[in-house]
Amino acid sequence: MKLLITGASGQLGTDLVQHFRHRQIEVIALTSADVDFLLPECLHDVIAAVRPDWVINCAAYTQVDKAESEPDLAWRINAEAVGTIARAIHSCGGRMLQVSTDFVFDGSKTTPYVETDQPAPINVYGQTKYEGELLAQQYCDDVIILRSAWIFGASGRNFVKTILRLAGQRDTVAVVNDQQGTPSWTRNIAEAIDGLIAAAEPGIYHFANTGVTSWYGFAALTIETATAMGLLGTSCKVEPVTTLEYPTAARRPAYSALATGKISPLYPGTIPTWEAALEAMLVELKNA
């Protein structure tokens, strides 16, 4: 089996490449330095030349707030490029797995979102990711779409690493306490994707670590655990604030937890809690 992984230098892409190469699977790792996602014909040419069995598309415009002022750029990467990939891999006889997001939902529910819930994005990022899902389904009828949430890992930029940086610089960090979701560790997402490819059943799936928390709760446990491990020299206080007290350019869902019942049978073992995943990620970061 030959895999082509786009966004291979990002936090999820990095762990996916490591995961599949560890399993002795042939991986072509494609980064923004290799191909310009703003030039769709380049993407098509690469896929046609490589002819992979699967394309796992992790590449995305992920700057949620900046997307509000750059909607065209976000759309070209999160939607147009996805359609190009879907057409190219379909014409080559391969399969596609598109990584998407919890931000396709508006946050009006109070129980975890299931795959059949209707998306209703409330920001540009979420809208463009949803349009990417639709284009992938339009041009590649056997596509697998994996939505994940609050992604964190030892590579790349993410909430956990930002909190660690701020905690090392400040005595107090203010974090929103009225937005709830499900953190997802990149290594566990990679295991879930492995299971999805092995099953090869098209459709939409949700994956996140188990449990629901707020950004405040996520930050507080990050600092507490990192301090206990010696990753932080001094303890930093986390101050809970409301969304209204911490305005951002883009609206966020108040609740975007993802249900994992559909994907659970395909995951190797029991899906870890977000607390256990966070601890494991911090251990990895400490030992890096």
DSSP SS3 for 219: helix
Question: Catalytic residue numbers?
Answer: 125
- Residue position matching structure tokens 């899906």: 271
At residue 42, the pLDDT reads 86
CA-to-CA distance for 235 and 188, rounded, in angstroms?
A: 28
pLDDT at 35: 86
Query: Tens of pLDDT along 19-46?
Result: 999 999 999 999 988 888 888 788 889 9
CA dihedral (122, 126, 132, 137) positive or negative: negative
Please name the helix (run of DSSP H) or strand (run of DSSP E) that holds residue 214, with its range, or none.
Answer: strand 213-214
Residues in the chain: 288
**184-229 residue pLDDT tens:** 999 999 999 999 999 999 999 999 999 999 999 999 999 999 999 9
What dihedral angle (degrees, nearest 10) is formed by the CA atoms of 267, 270, 275, 278? -40
d(C-alpha 171, C-alpha 136), whole Å = 46
Determine the pLDDT at residue 184: 98
Is the distance from CB of 83 to CB of 136 less than 8 angstroms? yes
The letter for the amino acid at 172 is T
Structure tokens at 226: 């990192």
> Residue ranges of the chain with pLDDT lower than 70?
none
CA angle 264–178–122, rounded 5-degree value: 75
